Amino acid sequence: MEKELHEQYEYARRRLRQKKRLYYHFVLFTLISIFLFTAHRFFDIGIDTNWSTWIIIVWLFLFILHFIKVFITDRFMNKYWERDQIDRLVALQQKKIAQLQSKIEENNSNKIP
């Protein structure tokens, strides 16, 4: 039981660290986006193209990927999900093996006169 409790604690700690990094990423993205937008629009820093907008769009895309990883992918496809899938596949294989063994025994019993 203690091993299971420790695994749950480690999982919770890892999830908390992931969420903390995501929130830090969001705050950093917001502050730097405001700075880039302000620097480009009001202080005319850089060339005449919308370089700040492109940087913000690319960074937003990366942030969305980070969000998907933390809240969708890792939430549903974690260690417990893997265990359930492995258990399901092992049970399916054992069922097929049992069916094959029963067929073999049935064939052997039919061959004996």
Residue 23 is encoded by which pair of tokens? 């929130």
- What does the alpha-carbon distance between residue 59 and residue 73 come to, in Å, rounded to a whole number? 20
Residue 2 is encoded by which pair of tokens? 């203690």
* Residue 59 scores a pLDDT above 90: yes
**Looking at the structure, do residues 49 and 7 belong to the same domain, yes or no?**
yes
- What is the structure's pLDDT at 113? 56
Q: How many domains are contained in the chain? A: 2
- Percent of the chain at pLDDT above 70? 93
**Looking at the structure, do residues 27 and 46 belong to the same domain, yes or no?**
yes
Domain extent at residue 18:
1-76
The pLDDT tens digits for 69-98 are 988 887 777 777 777 888 888 998 999 999
**Looking at the structure, do residues 68 and 86 belong to the same domain, yes or no?**
no
Side-chain-facing half-sphere of 8: CA atoms under 13 Å? 5
Supply the mean pLDDT for the chain: 85
Q: If you compute the radius of gyration of the chain from its CA atoms, what whole number of angstroms results?
A: 28
Q: What does the pLDDT average to over 91-106?
A: 89
